[in-house]
A and B are shown apart, each in its own frame.
Chain A
């Protein structure tokens, strides 16, 4: 079992401190907003990595859970006028429900087919939002959500806290016997069965945990943007998250989180490139797949940690 070393912990504290203090010191609402989105993407990336990075079952439809969480928040706000704080647990519940419904028939499929089936599910969900426009608001979606916390800076700190909690929980799980089992499932499912492990249960459970955090992030995003729309279910969101994970280093949890933050920042800086951004993402993915399949951030950190030892 990998234990989190003191150096890892120190590094994490430094990173969190920098992330927390920078917008306060620079006193920029714009930067706070960007970093809020960074943190939310980090939650999504870490949640993806927990399931897909560990079990090797890459999920090309993560946006299904993201959108589910976001639209839950949207419905609660616009249909039931509920207290916005109820969105968070509700989003988790709905996202987990989705994972149960979709995971059940698809988890027994082999890698690429599972990936495609999840992609199909999210694409269909996106389509459904447009078909049932009377309920979902169609192309424009739902708007008029209320922020959870009025001060952008305080909301950002809240989201950051959720991110830290998410990474901590997921890392703890990944380093525990749970993580060992998930990695074993990636290794060889038949041998796992022969070892007495209920493979389906663990795959399902890890998908549900992944969905829970993704949905939570979705709700946080909804209360940041104050509106939700169908592109949240799109394959672009799914693949963006996957690219972030690959840049960060698949399987490390913290790597994808960092990768998400860096890539989102990069996207903002490249805003001038407008429509070419997706091409840059795509190019990045291709470069990573060809030259750095283990990612950039996690391997770099591990080497740095060795030096500091």
Chain B
């Protein structure tokens, strides 16, 4: 089966700093893959490159056979690639439901006849159904994450990019969110690519891990193997003190 996402030699420099260096990888349809790397490794930059928020200096990004590089972000979304942000920025001054309706108004999602009903359905899917009428400012942090996902799902993506979905969540909130991701992956056969720098969450969730450090891919393996990869260990022991590879 051909890859749904094919990234070839993508690079990005900011002045003297190479944030992403010759990154190449591909995703098979329906895979749940993780990108692992310490802070500053270039993970979010990579996401921004894939989704058009930052222009890549070189390389090619092919999704479902079509080149994405050079397209405006909203166009990429309408091809079927959705993303969440690490720092959720909802539309203030509106209700939770309205936040999702906005995404239902994109060209890709627009054919659904009753936007409100569809938005409510999406909120139900992520577990926010009861809070649809609330002002978005009243949502706790964990719920904002779910709202992000609902908003991303509204655009009917075939590929979902999740940027550190577990960041800042308390231990009781992590597992329900992981279950939600798992459920979405299973029920909708979505291809999911997620960024995290906490290993523990990866282990149970993804089938394959791409490890990145200093903008380059240093290893690609199954979760169980990646923790034994010497380069990955070095990248972590040398960098973070908080979450590191469990034995």
Contacts and interface: CB of A to CB of B under 8 A. Distances in A.
Interface of A: 1, 177, 180-181, 183-184, 187-188, 190-199
Interface residues of B, number: 33
A267 to B, nearest CB: 32
Given A187-B94, A196-B77, 6 more contacts: A180-B105, A184-B94, A187-B90, A194-B151, A195-B74, A198-B74
A195 B93 contact: no
Given A180-B98, A190-B53, A191-B85, A197 B106 contact: yes
B82 interface: yes
Interface of B: 51, 53, 72-75, 77-78, 82-85, 89-94, 98-99, 101-103, 105-109, 115, 151-152, 154-155
Contacts of A184: 91, 94, 99, 102
Given A184-B94, A187-B91, A187-B93, A193 B102 contact: no
A119 to B, nearest CB: 27
A180 B85 contact: no
Contact of B105 (A177, A188, A193, A199): A177
The 3 closest A-B pairs by CB, nearest first: A196-B106, A187-B91, A196-B77
A193 B77 CA distance: 8
Contacts of A181: 102, 105
A181 B92 CA distance: 12
Contacts of A196: 74, 77-78, 82, 103, 106-109, 155
Contact of A194 (B85, B107, B108, B115): B85
Contacts of A180: 94, 98, 101-102, 105
A26 B199 CA distance: 80
A188 B85 CA distance: 12
Contacts of A192: 74, 102
A39 B82 CA distance: 47
Contact of A193 (B72, B91, B94, B99): B72
Contacts of B77: 193-196
Nearest to B101: A180
A177 B74 contact: no
8 contacts: A187-B92, A188-B91, A190-B53, A190-B73, A194-B74, A196-B77, A198-B74, A198-B75
A183 B85 contact: no
B108 to A, nearest CB: 6
Contact of B89 (A177, A183, A188, A199): A188
A163 to B, nearest CB: 27
Contacts of B82: 194, 196
A194 B51 CA distance: 8
Contact of B102 (A190, A195, A198): A195
A184 B72 CA distance: 18
A198 B84 CA distance: 17
Given A194-B82, A196-B109, A177 B101 contact: yes
Contacts of B85: 190-191, 194
A191 B83 CA distance: 10
A195 B115 CA distance: 14
A107 B134 CA distance: 32
Nearest to A198: B74
Contact of B73 (A1, A183, A188, A193): A193
Contacts of B89: 187-188, 190-191
B183 to A, nearest CB: 22
